[in-house]
């Protein structure tokens, strides 16, 4: 908080500076993106029998977003954000499964442990984290990094969310035909249960 007061000290300008820092994070993430690694992540999700997303504390927000959209596209997607019942959920992990660990500094121990266990069970492991020195990386078959730097007490999740958007859209393009049929059925159900506001 002390740092943020020093960096964003001009009340009027600080709002613009925060947006500019977010833009900088997206630019940095784009420049460092390894397209081949990204494609491997997309392919692994398309082929997966089950997908588990492990995200805790502030990263839970990213996990919820990723789970919400992937469950439209893939057969079985599950978010794990509590260490309490993780054992019952992942005891039978195998090579047909994908486990995505999402964590940014300060990294959550439980996310690292689950990713490590998943690697032991020969599941494909994907890390979404801030850099290649992250403690998630040694347990990731597929490392994806997104810059989250901001001189304040919160992480900036704008760039990680852009990366997740790109993942979801890329999986959607590959699953377009099945996804279209599913969406048509869902639209009918949404109408039936009056899910969305209509004038």
Report the CATH number that the domain containing residue 163 is assigned in CATH.
3.40.50.10490
Is 155 domain-assigned?
yes
With bands split at pLDDT 50, 70 and 90, how would you rate the model's confidence at 182? confident
Is 18 domain-assigned?
yes
Is 177 domain-assigned?
yes
What's the residue count for the chain? 199
Mean pLDDT over 113-132 rounds to 96
Beta bridge partners of 145: 129
Number of domains in the chain: 1
pLDDT of residue 147: 94
Q: How far is CA 138 from CA 62, 121, 122, in A?
A: 21, 15, 14
With bands split at pLDDT 50, 70 and 90, how would you rate the model's confidence at 4? low
Is 197 domain-assigned?
no
Q: Which range of residues forms the domain containing residue 22?
A: 2-190
Is 198 domain-assigned?
no
What is the CB neighbour count within 10 angstroms for residue 120?
A: 11
pLDDT of residue 152: 67
Is 10 domain-assigned?
yes
Beta strands per DSSP E along the chain: 50-55, 77-80, 97-102, 124-129, 142-145
pTM summary value: 0.89
Beta strands per DSSP E along 91-153: 97-102, 124-129, 142-145
pLDDT of residue 11: 63
Is 105 domain-assigned?
yes
The per-residue pLDDT for range 141-173, each reduced to its tens digit, is: 999 999 988 756 677 899 999 999 999 999 999
The per-residue pLDDT for range 90-111, each reduced to its tens digit, is: 889 999 999 999 999 989 999 9
User: How high is the mean pLDDT of the chain?
Assistant: 89
């Amino acid at each position: 908080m002390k740092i943020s007061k020093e960096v964003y000290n001009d009340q009027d300008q600080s709002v613009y500076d925060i947006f500019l820092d977010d833009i900088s994070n997206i630019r940095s993430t784009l420049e460092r993106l390894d397209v081949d690694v990204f494609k491997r992540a997309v392919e692994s999700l398309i082929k997966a029998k089950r997908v588990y997303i492990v995200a805790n504390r502030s990263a839970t927000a990213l996990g919820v977003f990723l789970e919400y959209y992937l469950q439209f596209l893939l057969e079985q997607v599950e978010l794990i954000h509590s260490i309490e019942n993780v054992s019952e959920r992942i005891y039978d992990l195998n090579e047909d499964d994908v486990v995505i660990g999402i964590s940014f500094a300060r990294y959550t121990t439980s996310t690292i442990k689950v990713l490590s266990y998943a690697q032991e069970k020969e599941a494909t492991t994907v890390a979404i984290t801030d850099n290649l020195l992250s403690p998630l990386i040694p347990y990731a078959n597929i490392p994806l990094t997104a810059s989250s730097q901001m001189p304040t007490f919160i992480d900036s999740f704008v760039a990680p969310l852009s990366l997740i958007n790109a993942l979801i859209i890329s999986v959607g393009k590959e699953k377009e035909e099945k996804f279209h049929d599913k969406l048509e059925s869902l639209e009918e159900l949404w109408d039936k249960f009056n899910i969305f506001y209509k004038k």
